[in-house]
Amino acid sequence: MTTNTTDVRTVGVVGCGLMGSGIAELCARRGLATLVYEVDARAVEAGRGRIESSLARAVERGKLTGDDRNAALKQVTFTTDLADFADRDLAIEAVPEDEELKLRVFAGLDEAMTRPDALIASNTSSIPIMKLAAATSRPGQVVGLHFFNPVPVLDLVELVPSLVTADAAWERIRAFAADTLGRHVIVSQDRAGFVVNSLLVPYVIAAIRMFESGFAAAQDIDEGMVRGCAHPMGPLRLADHIGLDTTLAVAESLYAEFREPHLAPPALLQRMVQAGHLGRKTGVGFYKYPAGKAA
């Protein structure tokens, strides 16, 4: 099969939360016909608002012209029916980091996307791609395509093939990520956490345990890493930024894969998620955030 940088021109994005809206915006800004799925009309309007607000900020900061913003918005359409993905070259799953939910989405995409050459990618930050591919009848067309928040700003993408990803599918997705989207690509084996979270989440867990034990205050832990190690953000504030529910989900996935004690989620993290204290997106986590500042 001959491929080129324009091979993938129609994209479907499943989920329009923090990550999905960013992925949809990026695709639209690169001139791709982008169809976004959400569960109902209310979720569609919320997702549309995220994209519009992000594009407006880009214009305010001089990163986009008004014409660029308008052109991007014209590329984005919405649906509440996965069957509308039938004509897509590529579908990108960007729902919350819940394995059972992702498996259901993959089964639904497999049924909806009638073209045998259609690609299905997951934005999962931790779940092995082979697990998701096994939920479809086309595991060779499935790959991990992990973006980082905020998607329009951070240019890194982790690409993850499974044991059965077809060579042609791999070539197409690499060309899409690097050439069509203009992202910097790194490649990981199909292990829980991939490259970035396999390094990052154990560090964050260690900081949570330090705080949980009373070893040091949250501000002091974070200031130690910012001022002592030149990190742009301390680990606890970073956990709030990522979302404590996502941090917990990644920790659980890492522990399930490797069974190493230092990867087990701290009890405090579990209780905070149960309480709905998820960080910036709910206004409270290890820190409190003013109204209107939640992601």
Measured on CA atoms in the order 59, 96, 205, 143, is the torsion positive or negative? Answer: negative
Is residue 193 within 8 A of residue 252, CB to CB? The reply is no
Domains detected in the chain: 10-187 (3.40.50.720), 198-274 (1.10.1040.10)
**Running DSSP on this structure, what letter comes out for residue 178?**
I
**Running DSSP on this structure, what letter comes out for residue 61?**
T
The answer to whether 158 is a known catalytic residue is yes
State the pLDDT at residue 174: 97
The answer to whether 197 is a known catalytic residue is yes
Could you tell me the two tokens for 6?
Answer: 């324009």
The answer to whether 125 is a known catalytic residue is yes
State the pLDDT at residue 290: 87
State the pLDDT at residue 3: 37
The answer to whether 149 is a known catalytic residue is no
**Catalytically annotated residue among 25, 146, 188, 198:** 146
Is residue 88 within 8 A of residue 113, CB to CB? The reply is yes
**Catalytically annotated residue among 21, 122, 123, 125:** 125
State the pLDDT at residue 187: 98
**Running DSSP on this structure, what letter comes out for residue 84?**
G
Q: Give all strands (DSSP E) within 29-82, no chain letters.
A: 33-37, 76-79
**Catalytically annotated residue among 158, 252, 253, 277:** 158
Spell out the per-residue pLDDT of the chain, length 295, in tens.
333 445 899 999 999 999 999 999 999 999 999 999 999 999 999 999 999 999 999 999 999 999 999 999 999 999 999 999 999 999 999 999 999 999 999 999 999 999 999 999 999 999 999 999 999 999 999 999 999 989 999 999 999 999 999 999 999 999 999 999 999 999 999 999 999 999 999 999 999 999 999 999 999 999 999 999 999 999 999 999 999 999 999 999 999 999 999 999 999 999 999 999 999 999 999 999 987 444 4
**Catalytically annotated residue among 197, 198, 252, 277:** 197
Spatial distance between the Cα atoms of 142 and 165, rounded to a whole number of angstroms: 6
